Amino acid sequence: MLISNEGYVKYNAKHIFSKPIKVPYLLQLNNARTLMYNLGLIGVNSTGVGYGNLSIRFHGDEFLITGTNTGAISVLSPNDYCLVKSFDIVRNSIISCGPVQASSESMTHGAIYRSVSEINCVIHIHSKNIFDGMIRDKYPFTPENAEYGTPDLAIAIENCVLKSDKKEGLIVLAGHDEGIIAYGCTVEKTLKLILEIKKKYEREHIIVNVTKENNSIMSKNKIKAAIFDLDGVIVDTAKYHYIAWKEIAKKYGFDFTESDNERLKGVSRMESLDILLNIGKIKISQKEKEDLATIKNERYKALIANMNPDEILYGVREFIESLRSNGILTALGSASKNSGFILEKLNILPLFDVVIDGNHVSNAKPNPEVFLKAAKLLNTLPENCVVFEDAQAGIEAAKAANMKCIGIGSPKILKNADLVIEGFKSTELSEILHPLCLNAKKQQK
Ligand code: G6P
Ligand code: MG
């Protein structure tokens, strides 16, 4: 048995390793994959097991599907896709080719393509919130005893599709916790189904719930304002910065890796460039540096030009709205000089009372200037502010400003934060939010 991106591959695989397979609409499919990953609907859970996969029909019942064990990769390349040539539900076997073996969920995708010829795209996502809502509202579902990656599930899915809308639809996999399948005639239409169902149910998720108040670090602090970093907290722009910086490194003939990119998080543009040039051991004049920074920024801006509100990280909008409706002031405190542009693209400018970014400060994080300016404009003392940050430099800046700091990411990296959460979808939210709001209300009285 193979370890797969959903636990274990349960079918018998005959796979021929080959070069990437070129199919029309791969770019579109891959963009959909990136969006699903950014929304947390495809990814990897805290125990390292991947979830979610997507595919597109090629010729006949052949289809291109994401490879096994790709859940942790933020942006896939053609090397991460596999062509399923044929499948046999009764014998539970799959024949495939490509640079990587097929997703463990291939049989399920195959069953859908086989059942209706107009279906050309299948997207399998995970979301507790959507799952619970769909079960409650009685969407088409597969039985609880049909487990993921099994012929039973494939047959159940086939039945479901034939009984419901044949061209596009959503199915909840009751035997595959949090699992949902969307299918449609095109990538675009299938994606639309997911984005709509996400919108329908996501707002139910952030519930201000009184739990473990005494355990919360926030309950002991009088919080009046929350300051949010932008990149990595509200939206994942790191991948676009990475593409743009990597191209600069390539110009100078050295490689710039994803782990190198980690060092640039929260760091200003010019300091990022210094780190990059240091990695490549390149020495150039100040004028050349400025030109390079401009080239990088033009490329970055082209990459973020099509950003839209769907790229806002899961739950953050609702979290900020909840704070505001409970009397907490909100500000943006970002190193980026592009933050105005991004906030506009995401349509979230009204979520902030104050916006302070790289255009308003002369000292970059870890210097506390950006957060202190935000607090001053909010007319709030630093000790009454909490900062949400994903980068070490930002956490140091918050601490230097004498503010509370909640890290977004891994506690192993964000060592000095008062509390670290995975993101704005975890249950700890209520532990932060409720005491935050209680404190604000008490102070308003
Ligand atoms: C954020 C990002 C950094 C970036 C900095 C400046 O803090 O995490 O990676 O270098 O903003 O961004 P800018 O958009 O001004 O180049
Ligand atoms: Mg950041």
Contact yes or no for 150/10 (Cβ under 8 A): yes
Q: What residues act catalytically?
A: 229, 231
Q: Which CATH architecture has domain 225-236+309-444?
A: 3-Layer(aba) Sandwich (3.40)
Q: How long is the chain?
A: 445
Residue with the smallest CA separation from ligand 1 atom 9 is 265
Burial 401-410 (b: 16+ CB within 10 A, else e): bebbbbbbbe
Residue with the smallest CA separation from ligand 1 atom 11 is 336
Q: Which of 241, 402, 432 is nearest to 337 (CA)?
A: 241
Where do the domains of the chain lie?
2-212, 225-236+309-444, 238-304
Which residues are CB-contacts of 404 (< 8 A; sequence separation ≥ 6)? 217, 218, 221, 223, 385, 386, 387, 398, 418
Q: Where are the beta strands (DSSP E) in 334-435?
A: 354-356, 385-389, 404-408, 419-421
Tell me if 2-212 shares its fold with 225-236+309-444: no
Q: Selecting from 1.10.1060.10, 1.10.150.240, 3.90.1150.10, 1.10.3720.10, what CATH number does the domain 238-304 have?
A: 1.10.150.240
Ligand closest to CA 262: 1
Pairing status of strand 7-8 against strand 169-173:
unpaired
pLDDT at 40: 85
**Dihedral (CA of 213, 215, 220, 221) sign:** negative
Q: Which of 373, 351, 352 is nearest to 361 (CA)?
A: 373
Report the DSSP beta bridge partners of residue 184. Answer: 121
Q: What angle do CA 14, 15, 17 make, to 5 degrees?
A: 160
**Which of 270, 272, 304 most suits a substitution to test ligand 1, by most atoms within 8 Å of the C-beta?**
272
Report the DSSP beta bridge partners of residue 84. Answer: 63, 96
Which regions in the chain score pLDDT beneath 50?
A: 1-7, 204-215, 445
Ligand 1 — pocket residues by CB below 6 A? 231-232, 241, 264-269, 272, 297, 335-338, 358, 391
CA of 229 to the centre of ligand 2 (A): 6
**Which of 243, 248, 268 most suits a substitution to test ligand 1, by most atoms within 8 Å of the C-beta?**
268
Instruction: Give the ligand 1 atom nearest the CA of 264.
Output: 9
Q: For residues 64 and 365, what is the distance between their CA atoms, to the nearest angstrom?
A: 44
Q: Which of 71, 196, 203 is nearest to 129 (CA)?
A: 203
Which residues are CB-contacts of 199 (< 8 A; sequence separation ≥ 6)? none
pLDDT at 221: 60
pLDDT single digits (tens) 410-423: 888 888 898 888 88
CA of 156 to the centre of ligand 1 (A): 48
pLDDT at 441: 53
CA of 228 to the centre of ligand 2 (A): 9
**Which of 237, 241, 277 most suits a substitution to test ligand 1, by most atoms within 8 Å of the C-beta?**
241
Residue with the smallest CA separation from ligand 1 atom 14 is 336
pLDDT single digits (tens) 80-101: 999 999 999 888 899 999 999 9
**Dihedral (CA of 284, 285, 290, 295) sign:** negative
pTM attached to this predicted model = 0.56
> Which two structure tokens, joined as six digits, stand for 379?
């007319």
The DSSP code sequence of 260-310 is: HHHTTTT--HHHHHHHHHHHTT----HHHHHHHHHHHHHHHHHHHTT--GG
Which residues are CB-contacts of 259 (< 8 A; sequence separation ≥ 6)? none
CA of 336 to the centre of ligand 2 (A): 9
CATH H-level, domain 2-212: superfamily? Class II aldolase/adducin N-terminal domain (3.40.225.10)
CA of 267 to the centre of ligand 1 (A): 6
Q: Which of 318, 348, 313, 307 is nearest to 331 (CA)?
A: 348
pLDDT at 147: 77
